[in-house]
């Protein structure tokens, strides 16, 4: 088996609990790059939340790509320009903004790397997400929003108990028309129903002429499932839930125990074993 490309999720995978890349993980990725392996960062975050880590790992050249917003956008890594995008429009935003109010949960939406919320009492989960992803946060009532905006992702966010109750009231046909993925106890992420990390990864691989049998993917959450299914070498983090681990070829250590480094060294840098 000869891996040519590695796709790596960020939160809970590449990053430890302090949102840092450990020295061991950084070294394993650098060694893989030296062997000519293409490394792709694939995240639910917008580009602004990925870019610092691209720079830290040296994955910000004109020949690098990254996947943001759960696969809604494929970027040229060096400048964030969109190679492929599958976005939501203003009508989609209006639907979910009204729905969120009806079911009693907070909501924010991302457009042009900016986070918008119409909630006068802004959720601290929104503030945390804006901080984590380096996204400017704008309070904007619905009637003042630009109708020309396109959205990479919409998020229902709230405390776990409140969010779960709200989710139970979402109409069934919403799941047929959109991709809704719960990526943490606090977040329900909404995107175009054609968007996922697996489809985006396939687009990049086809562009590079790399077949799935040469692909390795590493993740820990529900938004990583399609990416894990696409790759012949699928790696679940030790901190991932049981159903994620069951579909993976290999279960590595947790994100706080250099799980990404262990997986890369196993399949790409065996001399480090």
- Tell me which residues are annotated as active site: 9
Burial of 170 (0-12, 13-18, 19+ CB in 10 A): buried
Provide the 3-class DSSP secondary structure of residue 234. Answer: strand
Instruction: Describe the strand order of the beta sheet including 137-139 as a list of residue ranges.
Output: 137-139, 114-117, 106-111, 153-157, 187-192, 178-184
How is residue 103 written in tokens? 């079911």
Q: Which of 42, 56, 74 is nearest to 215 (CA)?
A: 42
Report the chain's C-alpha Rg in angstroms: 18
| Count of C-beta atoms within a 10 Å radius of residue 185 | 11
Task: Count the alpha carbons within 13 Å of 188 in the hemisphere toward its beta carbon.
Answer: 24
How is residue 39 written in tokens? 């490394």
**φ, ψ at 3 (rounded to 5°):** -75, 135
Distance of alpha carbon 144 from alpha carbon 153, whole angstroms: 19
> CA dist 272 to 36, 74, 200, 247, 263, Å?
17, 32, 31, 26, 11
């Amino acid at each position: 088996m000869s891996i040519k490309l590695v796709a790596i999720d960020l939160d809970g995978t590449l990053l430890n609990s302090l949102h840092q890349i450990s020295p061991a993980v950084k070294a394993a990725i650098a060694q893989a790059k030296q062997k000519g392996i293409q490394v792709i960062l694939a995240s639910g975050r917008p580009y602004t939340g990925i870019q610092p880590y691209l720079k830290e790992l040296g994955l910000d050249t004109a020949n690098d790509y990254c996947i943001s917003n759960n696969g809604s956008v494929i970027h040229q890594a060096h400048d964030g320009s969109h190679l492929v995008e599958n976005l939501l429009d203003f009508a989609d935003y209006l639907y979910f903004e009204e729905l969120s109010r009806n079911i009693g949960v907070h909501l924010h939406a991302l457009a042009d790397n900016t986070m918008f919320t119409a909630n006068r009492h802004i959720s601290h989960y929104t503030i945390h997400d804006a901080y984590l992803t380096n996204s400017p946060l704008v309070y904007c009532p619905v009637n003042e929003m630009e109708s020309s905006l396109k959205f990479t992702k919409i998020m229902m966010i709230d405390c776990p108990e409140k969010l779960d109750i709200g989710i139970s009231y979402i109409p069934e046909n919403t799941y047929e028309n959109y991709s809704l993925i719960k990526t943490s106890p606090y977040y329900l992420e909404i995107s175009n129903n054609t968007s996922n990390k697996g489809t985006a990864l396939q687009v990049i691989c086809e562009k590079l002429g790399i077949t799935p049998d040469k692909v390795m993917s590493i993740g820990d959450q529900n938004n990583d499932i399609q990416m894990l299914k696409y790759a012949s070498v699928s790696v679940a983090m030790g901190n991932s839930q049981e159903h994620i681990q069951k579909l993976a070829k290999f279960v590595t250590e947790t994100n706080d125990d250099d799980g990404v480094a262990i997986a890369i060294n196993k399949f790409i840098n065996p001399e480090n074993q």
